[in-house]
Amino acid sequence: PATVGLLYPRESETREVRSLDGMWLLLRSNASDPLQGIREKWYNQSLRATNHSTILMPVPASYNDVTVDQQLRDHVGTVWYERQFFVPTRWRTDKLRTWLRFGSVHYQAVVWINGQAALRHNFGHLPFEAEIDSFVKYGSENRITIMVDNRLNNRTIPQGKVLKQANDDGVVYVQTYTFDFFNYAGIHRSVHLYTTPQTHISDVELRTLISINKIGRIDYRLWFGNEGSLARNSNYVLVQLRDETGTVVAHQINRELRNGTLLVTNVKPWWPYLMDPVPGYMYSLEFLLFSTDESDAEANSQLIDAYRMPIGIRSLSWNNDGLYLNGKSLYLRGFGKHEDSDIRGKGLDNAMIMRDFNLLKWIGANAYRTSHYPYSEESMQFADKHGIMIIDECPSVNTDLFEPQLLLNHMSALEQLIHRDRNHASVIAWSIANEPRTQKMTAEAYFGALTNYTRGIAHGRPLTAASNVDSPSKCKMSQFLDIIGFNRYNAWYHNAGRTDMIVSPMYEEAKYWRERYQKPIIVFEYGGDTLEGYHTLPAFIWSEEYQTTLFSKHFQAFDKLRQLKWFMGEFVWNFADFKTEQTITRVGGNKKGVFTRDRQPKAVAHLLRQRYYALALKL
């Protein structure tokens, strides 16, 4: 679909990319009147020209924690953003197409260019774009206006409920939700303006494989904008693979234009961190679209479009006992994470991403789950580059009230996620949901249909999900999955304080899931809230000692489970502390982090580091 941003915008000799990040204007609509801006037609003029007061707001960032205004932090409904931009006349004279792309906006976005509705999108955490040539004024100033609506209802992914409540000032709308992270909103990731030629490469799909004799195989498929102008005898694509030094190691001239296969001898496979001295080896794959003069073939070729992308070459396979990368069985040492930090909320921050990857490597992890929504494209590129494997989760969390419109939206969220991330070497599985209410009867038909659909577009990856039903036999979803994941909080939500009740329940439960479904088993969440600097001896809940004891007991269970070939990995909840909605069970947010919210280690980090390195190096 035209509104789904597919290829990451990259500069080349035929493409320009401009950033629209920076300071935008923000205007909050009346809390009791989310459609105020539509009625008053705020898109028709600058927000400054309305008689409401605007503030400056950085993009990318969540708007909630930037100001000291409680109403903005807790706002339910719409806010409007605006900025000006220029489009050079040259883009028209050169007959370029102009695209506007949002990395993500949470949750619903409607975009106007110079007062004309240009695009809309309905999910957080996923990119969207549109061609905007017909809306822009070349060689002069343009205005972009966007309405962002953060309301979640029983058909959004994830679900929520907006309640109308009486308060001291009259009535107020309150957003409620059952998931355990703050519903940050705003323009969360970068905004780009970019160009392509009229005829251009519009989408790329890759699959890679490594055969025993060190031959790498890349199967690719291409799509083009303005496809009708291309013909077999007057166009071709030069496909070149370059290694990290820039040397062309494989190339091909493709006159079929659509599909092709590239073979690489002596390939350097993509390996996860600590599985090889050179993890995350990335080649660059280059697609050069040419037009030729029929009379003399390639000699007079003209370059039409050039697109280059990083690519890691590896094989991925699975069976009922495990997941295999380049033929080697994987044991995942990982985390559930969040995109969350002070002030910027869920706003993209490359320094934070870099810090997180440095910590992941410091601690010896090799994987994380993008709990509970797709993470930034930039972080996916980092994961490729650092050899960190990704369980890629769609934004469905605590799904309830399984009904047809929700199912369609859930399918769409998965389609958009897979479409965006299918070419990443780091992605080893799709997680279709976190803790849906799968004990309900209606969950069975829902997940049957959802997995059936997703399997058709899964692009060589297994399907998984995180279940938390208390008994495997009651889960109406797991029967449809390739890898069974479960979340369990022994000595926290179950038997708080009882670190003597971890090893056996964890071991027995994993075996129970296995017996029931005969699939590989992974623990996606375990942990306990811990206030950094709070020490108790003997260990007491919320102390650093308690977290350390709780982890070490889990390690005993995992070590027993590792003797069984189907046990695939252990993911801590959580990598770092993160913000939640206000509740009496959360002091300043969820504190189950191994790192604090500002990414410094708690005591348990050192213990986990010993374990993860020992596992990696098979000590």
Q: Which residues bind ligand GCB (CB under 6 A)?
A: 180, 372, 434-435, 468, 487, 525, 573, 590, 592
Looking at the Cβ atoms of 356 and 525, the one nearer to ligand GCB is 525
Question: Hey, what amino acid is at 131?
Answer: E
Between the CA of residue 222 and those of 201, 235, 256, 263, 558, what are the distances in Å? Answer: 7, 14, 10, 17, 44
Which pair of structure tokens corresponds to residue 225? 């904008």
Q: In this structure, what are the phi and psi dihedrals at residue 444, rounded to the nearest 5 degrees?
A: -65, -50
- State the distance between the two ends of the chain, measured CA to CA, in whole angstroms: 50
One of 286, 393, 415, 435 is an active-site residue; which one?
435
Cβ atoms of residues 26 and 63 within 8 Å: yes
Considering beta carbons, is residue 179 or 331 the nearer one to ligand GCB?
179
Q: Are 197 and 96 in contact (CB under 8 A)?
A: yes
Region of 384 (left: φ > 0; alpha: ψ -120 to 50; beta: rest) is alpha
Q: How near is the Cβ of 482 to ligand GCB at its closest, in Å?
A: 20
Q: In 35-88, which ranges are continuous DSSP H helix?
A: 36-39, 70-73
Whichever of 335 and 573 has its CB closer to ligand GCB, that residue is 573
The tokens for 71 are 């109403």
Nearer to ligand GCB, 267 or 469 (CB): 469
Measured between alpha carbons, how far is residue 588 from residues 187, 345, 487, 534, 580 in Å? 24, 14, 23, 15, 8
3-class DSSP state of 443: helix
CA distances from 468 to 57, 154, 367, 471, 554 (A): 39, 21, 21, 8, 17
Q: What are phi and psi of 281, to 5 degrees?
A: -70, 125
Query: Among residues 235 and 434, whose Cβ is nearest to ligand GCB?
Result: 434
Query: Regarding beta strands 332-336 and 367-369, do their DSSP bridges make them parallel or antiparallel, or are they unpaired?
Result: parallel
Nearer CB in complex with ligand GCB: 111/523:
523
Nearer to ligand GCB, 21 or 180 (CB): 180
Q: Which is nearer to ligand GCB, 104 or 434 (CB)?
A: 434
Find out whether 218 and 435 touch, Cβ atoms under 8 Å.
no
Q: Which pair of tokens denotes residue 233?
A: 């005898």
Closest separation in Å from C-beta 591 to ligand GCB: 9
Asked whether the beta carbons of 544 and 535 are under 8 A apart, the reply is: yes
Tell me, rounded to whole angstroms, the distance of Cα 521 from its chain centroid. Answer: 23
Smallest separation, CB 373 to ligand GCB (Å) = 11
Residue given tokens 């789904």 in the structure block: 4
Residue entry with tokens 């959802």: 450
Asked if 105 contacts 186 with a C-beta cutoff of 8 angstroms, the reply is yes
Dihedral sign of CA atoms 592, 593, 597, 602 in order: positive
Shortest Cβ distance from residue 163 to ligand GCB (Å)? Answer: 22
Residue showing the smallest CB distance to ligand GCB in the complex:
180
How near is the Cβ of 118 to ligand GCB at its closest, in Å? 35
Q: Is 435 a catalytic residue?
A: yes
Active site residues: 435
